[in-house]
Amino acid sequence: MRETAHFRPCIDLHEGKVKQIVGGTLNTGDDSSLRTNFIAANPPSYFAELYRKDRLAGGHVIKLGPGNDEAALAALRAYPGGLQLGGGVNADNARSFLDAGASAVIVTSFVFSGGVFHEENLRKLLKAVGKERIVLDLSCRKDASGRYMVVTDRWKNFTTMELNSETLEKLASSCLEFLVHAVDVEGKCSGIDGELLTLLAEKSPVKCVYAGGIASFEDISFIENTGKGKVDYTIGSALDIFGGTIPYEKVAARSNMITEF
């Protein structure tokens, strides 16, 4: 069977609840600008059990700020080995998340502290858990000159790292895969960033998981046709289980019709 794009489900946690938040509106210590698309009545474990039932592996649990540890651990317990964990991960605590059931840890701020790439921190993480258990979050926004720049601190602050063939090549040797949120379109259900997707498909040496703006099956088809088997995808606010219109069951079935990743 042909290799194509797989659906990677998500559980985004804010204040212990599963939420869908518009990219870039979450500020540290200030929720006045927060724009929320959806707040789930069901606990995180409900979604983890759903993904396990539907054999959707490689999804992620993201802790957006403090107060999410218990909720994250509940999700990991519900689907041991099936979900990656991100949010506040560093070399000291990464192993504990893996021991709690995470298949891998997702890291941004620890290796991009202060807006600068800290290679020594990445080396510490590699020593702690190994390449195959590390996912680098390279979520990005365009700067004033049109370059895709990695952003951190809840996507508010630009780093000095541009997302291009050179940096993707450099970082690929230290991780299992990349997670990339297209922050400028994240949570808006207004369509994907085709330019960014093409960049990832053409330049990344490792698997990428794209998130941001998916609003229809046409967007999914674009990823399948453009991604060259190297780009999987996450859907958040547009899914019906998160208040959107895309049927989750159809997306899950579509993904399960193709080969395991």
pLDDT tens for each residue of 172-181: 999 999 999 9
Mean pLDDT of the chain: 91
CA angle 203, 232, 1 (to 5 degrees): 100
Q: Alpha-carbon distance 75 to 100, whole Å? A: 10
Three-state secondary structure call for residue 50: helix
Q: Alpha-carbon distance 181 to 232, whole Å? A: 12
Read off the pTM: 0.92
Q: What is the mean pLDDT of residues 197-220?
A: 96
pLDDT value for 112: 95
pLDDT value for 23: 54
Spell out the domain ranges in the chain: 10-256
Q: Please, which residues have CB within 8 angstroms of residue 179's CB and are 6 or more apart in sequence?
A: 60, 84, 86, 106, 135, 136, 137, 138, 139, 208, 209, 211
pLDDT bin (cut points 50, 70, 90) of residue 259 is very low
CB distance 89 to 110 below 8 Å: yes
Q: What is the mean pLDDT of residues 254-261?
A: 67
Q: Alpha-carbon distance 18 to 13, whole Å? A: 5
Q: Which residue has the tokens 């099936």?
A: 82
Instruction: Tell me the range of 2-11, 36-45, 124-133, 154-163 where mean pLDDT is highest.
Output: 124-133
pLDDT tens for each residue of 108-124: 999 998 999 999 999 99
Determine how β-strand 157-162 pairs with β-strand 148-152: antiparallel
Q: What is the mean pLDDT of residues 129-143?
A: 97
Selected from 3.20.20.70, 3.40.1710.10, 3.30.1370.10, 3.40.50.2000, the CATH number assigned to the domain covering 10-256 reads 3.20.20.70
Q: Please, which residues have CB within 8 angstroms of residue 30's CB and are 6 or more apart in sequence?
A: none
User: Taking 50 as the threshold, does the pLDDT of residue 261 lie above it?
Assistant: no
Q: Alpha-carbon distance 261 to 240, whole Å? A: 25
H-run or E-run covering 19: strand 17-21
CB distance 95 to 128 below 8 Å: yes
Q: Alpha-carbon distance 244 to 117, whole Å? A: 36
Q: Percent of the chain having pLDDT more than 70? A: 91
Q: Alpha-carbon distance 60 to 51, whole Å? A: 11
CB distance 154 to 65 below 8 Å: yes
Continuous H helices in the chain: 44-53, 69-78, 94-99, 119-129, 165-172, 194-203, 217-226, 248-256
Q: Please, which residues have CB within 8 angstroms of residue 246's CB and are 6 or more apart in sequence?
A: 214, 215, 216, 217, 235, 238, 239, 240
Q: Is 198 left (phi over 0), alpha (psi -120 to 50) or beta?
A: alpha
